């Protein structure tokens, strides 16, 4: 491109364009190397063995036959003396998903707990030997089901939310509705199961690990192995889905690390699909008692909410079911408690919108029930109780385009034609129902760093340890830098997912896009300034001693604005100034942040800024509209169409964002109709621990899904105006489907999933 052309071309802004995924081609060509696809010389293969009882101790384990099996390098159990040190969990302000340390004692706390590790020359040999291990147990009574009288709910004081005088206000309300709403154990089920490769060299450890958070994983591994974090490198350039379960590194990775140290060989350990159901937990079972009180005209008077989630016997995962209830509607009185029930289960963990997801399920079904009790349109009831400010924090929203979401979603769906009465639409033997729900997800923020390198050949490289888990981080960071440096985004390389790169927080809590675009934007501005300074201060540069303000820059050149022919390319400028590269490094920390703060942001959640920081309350919002068809004879439910209208603030890449929202809606359909861990109450065994029996939504379950973007840039929420995307799409979907099923059949299903048996 000639200089004059570069100048006159009105450049399309990269941020906001529906660019294809930068990693898309690599992925479809099989060139994106996932963690365990790495091949190292002299690699050994490990297989974990899991317990077959839910509670007790190991009386004896016969490992002799396994040991003598061909190709076996080692068989480890609790007698082997493999030392794994405790690591801080999420709940303790650390980054480990579980406190559990495998093979440290003879205790068995859940069915499917790791109890032995077999390492061999090949995977087949390890698998065969693992089957030869014989274990005898001493069983103890297990608490498998929350209904067990020995299961005692424990109140989490920090999760009590209260204002006004909710209990009397509920009793005095003209109209009251309420019920119990439950969600079962659900499993993240990413296509790529967990697995890792641990490789020690001279006291330093490299771990290839599919991770949403390499900084957190490095921290936990350094605690497990009792070595400096600088000695640990975690690499995770591609992740085949996580949906939360790769947010915290899981205990099997500790086994790979210790075994590799013992054997002085790289060890690859992959969990089998069934093992992914008990090596880490999905979303816990939740139970919510929710009551709404309102006046005859539909004005909410009180919300009373009591909930619990199951968690492990000696471990804590909180699924705050009151994440949405205090936020969505203006109610003058509110009371909510959340409790934990400890069971013999693997510790549950994050799964897309932990907290917001079940919370919105109960609240949004209850609102539908209230609307029917008042003979009001469900959307009108929501508008009647629209929260003009954050009802809990009592501060303004940073932005809330929820009215627009209701309006545009309803218009696109044709909601105004919905008859109020259930069972009033049908197509032959199919009962048709229309339902809707609202959704929300907070804008979480953690500071981070970024680096951009300009190489001698003019190549630009954006670097961050933040991860792209299939979301689009690679793409949007190139777009961000492209807009500042005025080059094509496709010409920028982005390096991610490696602890050698600048520190970044977890790709969790739907925060990473906003954080990293903010950091990269700042870094690109810094690089731009460095280039301009270099151009005017390098004696051999054609722009020497020009005023910096008179310079323009685009397409890898700098020139004098009113004399475009006086120009120099980036690479020429580096050569003339004797630099082999130029590195800009910036961050989004407060200027007072210490090195310790920076490490904490990279490896704990303690630096996360709550959505109410800064005097405004920042959240994404949505309205979901669904049509279902329920077969009158068989009770089968099909979602026929769904419209989601979303406010995620400014959208950096509409194509990827649509894909995220749709992904959430798809997962919501699975949650509403299919997903349920079937736990055998006798022995705590998960009877459907595979993808043939644990059903997730597949293409044939998914109808036409429409998304509408109703957001506007929100610079109070984040630097570049975006809000949360990744988890928003699932919130409210199951409620909208349940409400549609009620509208079709007159049956109110408060227990997920909505299966045939519940409808017949
Ligand atoms: N985006 C955008 N504009 C914004 C915000 C986001 O264009 N204002 C787009 C970008 O393409 C960005 C993506 O949305 O890459 C997600 O951004 P964000 O909401 O910040 O979410 P994170 O990058 O933090 O990703 C984590 C989030 C979570 S917490 C879960 S759970 C989840 C989700 O992403 N897991 C996923 N989406 C997933 N998608 C895939 N394919 N796989 C998973 O495991
Ligand atoms: Mo998402 S469940 O916060 O990784």
Residues 6+ apart with CB under 8 A from 512: 466, 467, 471, 473, 504, 505, 506
626 and 599 part of one domain = no
d(C-alpha 710, C-alpha 91), whole Å: 35
297 and 271 part of one domain = no
Within a domain: residue 29? no
Within a domain: residue 381? no
Residue-number span of the structural domain to which 544 is assigned: 3-24+450-603
620 and 580 part of one domain = no
264 and 294 part of one domain = no
| 10: confidence class by pLDDT, cuts 50, 70, 90 | low
Residues 487, 693 contacting (CB under 8 angstroms): no
- Domain total in the chain: 3
Within a domain: residue 267? yes
Q: What is the pLDDT of residues 533-589, one digit of tens each?
A: 999 999 999 999 999 999 999 999 999 999 999 999 999 999 999 999 999 999 999
717 and 618 part of one domain = yes
Q: Which of 570, 603, 636 marks a domain boundary?
A: 603
Q: Angle 654-673/733-745 helices, nearest 10 degrees?
A: 50
727 counts as catalytic = yes
644 and 735 part of one domain = yes
The tokens 């907290």 sit on which residue? 355
Within a domain: residue 656? yes
224 and 110 part of one domain = yes
In angstroms, what is the span from residue 192 Cα to ligand 1's centroid? Answer: 17
Residues 679, 686 contacting (CB under 8 angstroms): yes
In angstroms, what is the span from residue 237 Cα to ligand 1's centroid? Answer: 15
Q: Which of 248, 277, 306 marks a domain boundary?
A: 277
Within a domain: residue 515? yes
> Whose CA is closest to 642, among 655, 622, 627?
627
510 ligand 1 Cβ < 6 A? yes
The tokens 């408060």 sit on which residue? 750
CATH for 262 = 3.30.365.10
Write 384-388 long-range contacts (CB < 8 A, 24+): 384/297, 384/298, 384/299, 385/298, 385/299, 385/300, 385/329, 385/330, 385/331, 386/329, 386/330, 387/327, 387/328, 387/329, 387/330, 388/330
d(C-alpha 694, C-alpha 427), whole Å: 31
Q: Which of 568, 603, 638 marks a domain boundary?
A: 603
Mean pLDDT to the nearest integer, 26-37: 94
Q: What is the pLDDT of residues 577-633, one digit of tens each?
A: 999 999 999 999 999 999 999 999 999 989 999 999 999 999 999 999 999 999 999
664 ligand 1 Cβ < 6 A? no
In the predicted structure, residue 152 carries a pLDDT above the cut 90: no
Residues 462, 475 contacting (CB under 8 angstroms): no
Backbone φ and ψ for 204, nearest 5 degrees, come out as -110, 150
233 and 115 part of one domain = yes
Within a domain: residue 30? no
Residues 6+ apart with CB under 8 A from 754: 637, 672, 673, 737, 738, 741
Cis preceding linkage at 753, omega within 30: yes
In angstroms, what is the span from residue 243 Cα to ligand 1's centroid? Answer: 9
Atom of ligand 2 nearest to the CA of 245: 4
Within a domain: residue 163? no
302 and 256 part of one domain = no
In the predicted structure, residue 508 carries a pLDDT above the cut 70: yes
The reported pLDDT for the residue numbered 8 is: 44
Pocket lined around ligand 2, Cβ cut-off 6 Å: 212, 244, 247, 350-352, 354, 508-509, 727
Atom of ligand 2 nearest to the CA of 727: 1
Atom of ligand 1 nearest to the CA of 664: 37
What pTM does this model have?
0.97
In angstroms, what is the span from residue 472 Cα to ligand 1's centroid? Answer: 7
70 and 132 part of one domain = yes
In the predicted structure, residue 9 carries a pLDDT above the cut 70: no
Q: What is the pLDDT of residues 71-110, one digit of tens each?
A: 999 999 999 999 999 999 999 999 999 999 999 999 999 9
Ligand nearest to the Cα of 667, by number? 1
């Amino acid at each position: 491109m000639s200089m004059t052309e570069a100048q006159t071309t009105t450049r399309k802004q990269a941020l906001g364009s529906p660019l294809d995924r930068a990693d898309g081609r690599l992925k479809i060509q099989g060139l994106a190397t996932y963690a365990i696809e790495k091949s190292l010389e002299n690699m050994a293969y490990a297989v974990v063995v899991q317990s077959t009882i839910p509670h007790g101790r190991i009386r004896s384990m016969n490992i002799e036959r396994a040991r003598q099996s061909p190709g076996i390098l080692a068989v480890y159990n609790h007698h082997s003396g493999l030392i794994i040190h405790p690591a801080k969990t999420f709940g303790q302000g650390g980054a480990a998903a579980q406190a559990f340390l495998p093979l440290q004692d003879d205790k068995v706390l859940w069915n499917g707990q790791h109890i032995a590790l077999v390492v061999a020359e090949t995977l087949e040999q390890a698998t065969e030997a693992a089957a030869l291990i014989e274990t005898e147990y001493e069983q103890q009574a297990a608490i498998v089901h929350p209904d067990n009288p020995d299961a005692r709910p424990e109140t989490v004081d920090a999760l009590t939310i209260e204002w006004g005088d909710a209990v009397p206000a509920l009793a005095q309300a003209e109209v009251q509705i309420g019920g119990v709403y439950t969600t079962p154990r659900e499993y993240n089920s990413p296509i790529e199961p967990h697995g890792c490769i641990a490789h020690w060299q001279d006291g330093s450890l490299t771990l290839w690990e599919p991770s949403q958070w390499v900084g957190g994983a490095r921290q936990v591994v350094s605690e497990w192995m009792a070595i400096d974090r600088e000695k640990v490198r975690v690499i995770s350039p591609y992740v085949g889905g996580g949906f939360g379960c790769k947010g915290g590194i899981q205990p099997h990775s500790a086994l790979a690390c210790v075994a590799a140290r013992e054997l002085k060989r790289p060890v690859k350990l992959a969990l089998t699909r069934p093992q992914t159901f008990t090596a880490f937990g999905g979303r816990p079972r939740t139970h919510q008692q929710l009551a709404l009180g309102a006046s005859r005209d539909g004005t909410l008077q009180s919300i009373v909410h009591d909930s619990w989630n199951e968690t492990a016997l000696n471990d804590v995962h909180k699924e705050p079911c009151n994440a949405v209830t205090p936020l969505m509607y203006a109610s003058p009185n509110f009371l909510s408690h959340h409790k934990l029930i400890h069971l013999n289960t693997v510790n549950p963990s994050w799964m897309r919108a932990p907290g917001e997801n079940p919370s919105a399920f109960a609240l949004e079904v209850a609102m539908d029930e209230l609307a029917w009790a008042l003979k009001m349109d469900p959307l009108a009831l929501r508008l009647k109780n629209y929260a003009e400010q954050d009802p809990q924090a009592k501060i303004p929203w940073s932005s809330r385009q929820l009215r627009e979401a209701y309006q545009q979603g309803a218009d696109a769906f044709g909601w105004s034609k919905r008859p109020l009465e259930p069972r009033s639409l049908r197509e032959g033997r199919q009962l048709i129902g229309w339902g809707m729900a609202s959704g929300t997800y907070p804008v979480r923020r953690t500071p981070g760093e970024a680096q951009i390198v300009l190489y001698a050949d003019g190549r630009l490289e954006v670097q961050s340890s933040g991860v792209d888990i299939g979301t689009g981080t690679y793409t949007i960071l190139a777009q961000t830098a492209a807009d500042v440096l005025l080059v094509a985004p496709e010409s920028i390389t982005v390096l991610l997912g490696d602890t050698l790169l600048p520190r970044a927080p977890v790709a969790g809590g739907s925060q990473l896009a906003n954080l990293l675009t903010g950091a990269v934007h700042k870094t690109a501005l810094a690089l731009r300034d460095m280039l301009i300074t270099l151009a005017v201060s390098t004696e051999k540069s054609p722009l020497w001693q020009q005023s910096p303000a008179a310079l323009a820059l685009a397409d890898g050149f700098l020139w004098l604005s009113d004399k475009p022919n006086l120009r120099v390319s980036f690479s020429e400028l580096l050569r003339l100034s004797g630099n082999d590269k130029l590195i800009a490094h910036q961050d989004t920390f407060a200027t007072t942040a210490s090195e310790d703060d920076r490490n904490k942001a990279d490896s704990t959640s303690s630096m996360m800024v709550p959505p109410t920081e800064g005097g405004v309350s920042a959240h994404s919002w949505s309205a979901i509209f669904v049509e279902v068809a329920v077969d009158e004879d068989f009770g089968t439910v099909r979602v026929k169409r769904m419209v989601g209208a979303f406010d995620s603030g400014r959208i950096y890449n509409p194509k990827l964002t649509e894909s995220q929202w749709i992904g959430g809606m798809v997962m919501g359909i699975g949650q509403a109709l299919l997903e349920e861990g079937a736990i055998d109450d006798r022995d705590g065994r998960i009877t459907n621990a595979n993808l043939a029996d644990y059903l997730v939504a597949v293409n044939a379950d998914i109808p036409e899904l429409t998304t509408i973007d109703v957001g506007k840039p929100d610079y109070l929420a984040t630097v570049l105006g975006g809000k949360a995307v990744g988890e928003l799409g699932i919130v409210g979907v199951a409620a909208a489907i349940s409400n549609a099923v009620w509208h079709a059949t007159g049956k109110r299903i408060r227990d997920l999933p909505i299966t045939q048996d519940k409808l017949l």
